[in-house]
Structures are given as C-alpha cells and as structure tokens.
C-alpha cells in the first residue's frame, strides 16, 4: 500500500513571523502520529524558520523550486545542496505557475528532477492540462507528454523516489475542483504511462497526489479514489486547521 502524502504549497505567501506561526499551528494540531507523510513548502525566505519549528516532528520540509546546477554563476537561484543545508527533504518541480509564468518547459523540469535527486531531494513533479486543452479533448496527450518529458532518463530506482502531482490548471486557486471521477481517470492514466515507461512494480509504487482547490470539504472523496495517494494543497494550506483536516482525511488507519 502506498503511504499517503499531503504537502502544503504556501507559494509567495508568509513573512518569517507569519510562517513561524502557521508552522507552529500545524505542529500543535499534528502532535499525534498520523501515518501520513506531511510536508510544508514555505517560500525560500522562511525555510530556516519552518525547519526549526518542525525539527524532530513528523512534519517534513519542502521547497517550491530549485536550480538544475549544483553551484555557479546563476544569480538569484538556489541549489539542491543549499536546500539540504536547511533540512529540506522535498522540492516541488514544474508547478503550472512556473511552467506558465517563468517559461519552465518539461525539458527544464527534467534537468531539475535529475539535479534534485543527485542532491538527495525528493521531487514532487507537477503535471496537468489547461481548460482549453481539456475542452479540446487533449488531456491524455498533454499529461502523457509532460510525464514522459519531465521524467526522461530517470531510472526505475530513482522513479520510486519521485512523487507526481496531477494538478489540472483550471482547478488551481479557482475554487473549481476536478470531480473525484475526473481526477481518478487522469491518475489512472498517469499510472498507465509509468507502466509503459517502466513496469507494473514502478507504476504501483509511485505516489500520485491530486492538487487543485483541495479543501476539508472535498478531500475525503478525492483521497478515497484508488489512484489518488495524497494532495498538494495551495490555498487551504495557509490555514493550519484546514490543512490538518486534510491530513486527517488522508489517514489510512
């Protein structure tokens, strides 16, 4: 059975003091072991503070981006080793906001996936179609292409460490969630692509999160789908109680 993973993507929100209070709120509400992998992804500037708050707890730290080189003249960028220094375990890669606003292609995402793995970080690789692509009947082609290109030349052993997040762009920050059936259909498709790229063992091992307006009121039915193994949460992760309620919905005991 795949262990559920719930990650909060705080995006470009929270000053250091605000991040500390949000992380403390989550920590207090998650005092009891959940059996769920819980990850907080604050902005770079708050990583150290959140790292200190969650140290020694079940909560792990993630970043929202990383550069594909390990060091050098890349003004404004952050390397995998710098994230590991702050006790980051995870890194979100290829979020649709980065793909759409910062020109991140799947080829760039692929370089980042390799750099993250080499730097001992676990990548959360985001894929998902726009509304235009869905309306044009292109979901399968778009998602399969993103998965194949973002994960090109990754070995089976490496693949088992990677988490995929299916995030339909039209559901991110819009309050419009994919129905459990719509989400399950694409998650099953992604697992099928992994089966074709690797084998059934890898396809069954990889965790696939859903992301897109997941909140306490819809988390349980999404997480009950057979191929949905967790959530990548944006807006609802900015409220500790909402986030912890989603973690509770993911508990498998």
Q: How far is the CB of 115 from ligand PEP (least distance, A)?
A: 21
The verdict on 235 binding ligand PEP (CB under 6 A) reads yes
| Residue 77 known to be catalytic | no
Q: How far is the CB of 170 from ligand PEP (least distance, A)?
A: 10
The verdict on 212 binding ligand PEP (CB under 6 A) reads yes
**In whole angstroms, what is the distance from residue 90 CA to residue 9 CA?**
11
**In whole angstroms, what is the distance from residue 138 CA to residue 28 CA?**
44
Task: Give the strand pairing for 230-233 and 207-211.
Answer: parallel
Single residue of 79, 146, 184, 213 touching ligand PEP by CB under 6 A:
213
Structure-token pair, residue 126: 């985001």
Number of residues that bind ligand PEP (CB under 6 A): 13
The structure tokens 């179609």 sit at: 129
Q: Which stretch binds ligand PEP (CB under 6 A): 69-77, 149-157, 188-196, 206-214?
A: 206-214
Q: Which stretch binds ligand PEP (CB under 6 A): 30-38, 56-64, 187-195, 227-235?
A: 227-235
The verdict on 79 binding ligand PEP (CB under 6 A) reads no
Single residue of 54, 88, 233, 247 touching ligand PEP by CB under 6 A:
233
Single residue of 5, 9, 36, 218 touching ligand PEP by CB under 6 A:
9
Please count the CA atoms within 13 angstroms of the CA of 140 that sit on its side-chain side.
Answer: 6
Nearest to 228 by CA among 179, 193, 174: 179
Nearest to 60 by CA among 41, 43, 46: 41
The answer for residues whose C-beta is within 8 angstroms of residue 25's C-beta and 6 or more apart is 240, 241
Closer CB to ligand PEP, 174 or 252, in the complex: 174
Contact 61, 32 (CB under 8 A): no
Q: 97, 104, 129, 167: which is the annotated catalytic residue?
A: 167
Nearest to 248 by CA among 69, 27, 30: 30
Q: How far is the CB of 94 from ligand PEP (least distance, A)?
A: 11
Q: 95, 104, 129, 187: which is the annotated catalytic residue?
A: 95
3-state SS assignment for residue 157: helix
Q: Which stretch binds ligand PEP (CB under 6 A): 42-50, 56-64, 73-81, 165-173?
A: 165-173
Q: Nearest to ligand PEP by Cβ — which residue?
A: 234
Structure-token pair, residue 87: 């006790």
Closer CB to ligand PEP, 49 or 242, in the complex: 242
Measuring CA to CA, how many Å separate 233 from each of 68, 196, 203? 24, 29, 23
Query: For binding to ligand PEP (CB under 6 A), which residues are involved?
Result: 9, 167, 172-173, 211-214, 232-236
User: Which residues carry out catalysis?
Assistant: 95, 167
């Amino acid at each position: 059975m795949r262990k559920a993973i719930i990650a909060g993507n705080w995006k470009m929100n929270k000053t250091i003091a605000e991040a500390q209070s949000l992380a403390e709120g989550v920590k207090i509400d998650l005092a009891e072991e959940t059996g769920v992998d819980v990850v907080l992804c604050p902005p770079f500037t708050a990583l150290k503070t959140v790292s200190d708050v969650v140290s020694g707890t079940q909560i792990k730290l993630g970043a929202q981006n990383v550069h594909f080189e390990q060091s050098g003249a890349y003004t404004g960028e952050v390397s995998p080793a710098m994230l590991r220094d702050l006790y980051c375990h995870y890194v979100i890669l290829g979020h649709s906001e980065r793909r759409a606003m910062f020109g991140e292609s799947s080829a760039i995402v692929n370089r980042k996936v390799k750099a993250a793995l080499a730097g001992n970080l676990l990548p959360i690789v985001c894929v998902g179609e726009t509304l235009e692509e869905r309306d044009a009947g292109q979901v399968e082609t778009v998602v399969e292409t993103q998965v194949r290109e973002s994960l090109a030349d990754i070995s089976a052993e490496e693949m088992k460490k990677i988490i995929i997040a299916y995030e339909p762009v039209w559901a991110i920050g819009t309050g419009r969630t994919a129905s459990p059936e719509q989400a399950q259909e694409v998650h099953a498709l992604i697992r099928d692509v992994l089966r074709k790229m690797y084998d059934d063992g890898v396809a069954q091992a990889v965790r696939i999160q859903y992301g897109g307006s997941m909140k306490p009121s819809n988390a349980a039915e999404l997480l009950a789908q057979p191929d949905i193994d967790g959530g990548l949460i944006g807006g609802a992760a900015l409220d500790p109680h909402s986030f912890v309620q989603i973690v509770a919905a993911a508990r498998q005991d």
